[in-house]
Amino acid sequence: MRIGLVGVDGSHAEDFLRHFNIEGRHRDIAVTAFWGGDEARKAELQALAPGLRAADSLDRLIADVDAVIVGARHGDLHLPHALPAIAAGKFVFVDKPFTCTVGNAVALIDAAERAGTPLLSGSALRWQAETVMLKARLAYLDGPFAISGYGTWYPDSEYGGAIFYAIHTIELMQELVGTRWSNLRVESGDHPIISYDAGRASVTLQLHPLGPNGSSAFGASVRSRQLTCETPIPLPDDYMAPVTDRIATMLRTGQGMDRETLLAPILMMAEIDARLARR
């Protein structure tokens, strides 16, 4: 199957080329074309993956591939980049954040449902090995538990503000404890703390500034009668490999992500933003 990259300003473009084309992790799938970037960026990507074609328009790219990865860093670009691909019946993966607004998220999901085409999105944190193992351990708990996730808070990001980094921690927690929440509370400040209830779980999100040289750290801790653990979730050099695996599964099975899982992180970020704006 042929994949087209749309929006190539981020390093994930290199990751997709490495995993699909160079390393050949999925022999039946390759990135064959891309759209976007200046001449220097185009040359970088084509040097990395010989034979990769730079499309002269979004419509031309969509016509020549079976699936599209929407990868622009700014989430406001995801709706206009993804809608034409969905309308053409292509399978679509949208890099995080899915969108920056609830309205755009709903519009994308509605379009995919009308077209009957699969749609997938997600932070790489959802599918790291440490996340998968912790989720399995939580499934065995039979009583209430407290879980705390930590990640990055950078409201001044040029790529849509706080959501660009905060969505990682939000998606991590929703992957671990589910997409539904109640009683959300926000302690504002340079280091916001968000708390909410999710079924048996009492959840806390601790968001910290970027570290040295723009670094980020992610992880989770659990406290319960049966389990107490600290689980850092590192992002190794191949941290995008589980994402390419999920994309490959979507392409082979035609199964995307359900509406609630796609929409819930954007809804929670909107509620957090609204609470902070009122303070």
Q: Write the CATH number for 223.
A: 3.30.360.10
229 in helix, strand or coil? strand
pLDDT tens for 194-228 read: 999 999 999 999 999 988 888 899 999 999 999 99
70 in helix, strand or coil? strand
**Does 163 lie in the same domain as 48?**
no
**Does 115 lie in the same domain as 246?**
yes
**Does 86 lie in the same domain as 117?**
yes
pLDDT tens for 21-42 read: 999 999 999 999 999 999 999 9
As a whole number, the mean pLDDT across the chain is 96
| Structural domains counted in the chain | 2
Supply the pLDDT for residue 277. 86
CA 59, distance to chain mean position in Å, is 24
Supply the pLDDT for residue 181. 97
Residues 126, 124: Cα–Cα separation, whole Å: 5
Residues 109, 129: Cα–Cα separation, whole Å: 28
Supply the pLDDT for residue 99. 98
Supply the pLDDT for residue 160. 97
Mean of the pLDDT values across residues 128-145? 97
Mean of the pLDDT values across residues 132-145? 96
Q: Is residue 32 part of a domain?
A: yes
Q: Is residue 262 part of a domain?
A: no
The range of the structural domain enclosing residue 78 comes to 2-123+238-257
Mean of the pLDDT values across residues 107-121? 98
What percent of the chain shows pLDDT beyond 70? Answer: 100
Tell the burial category of 257 from Cβ atoms under 10 Å away from its Cβ (0-12, 13-18, 19+): buried
**Does 222 lie in the same domain as 166?**
yes
Residues 27, 248: Cα–Cα separation, whole Å: 10
**Does 173 lie in the same domain as 201?**
yes
Tokens of 54: 């730079």
CATH number, domain with residue 39: 3.40.50.720
Supply the pLDDT for residue 279. 63
Q: Is residue 214 part of a domain?
A: yes
Residues 277, 171: Cα–Cα separation, whole Å: 22
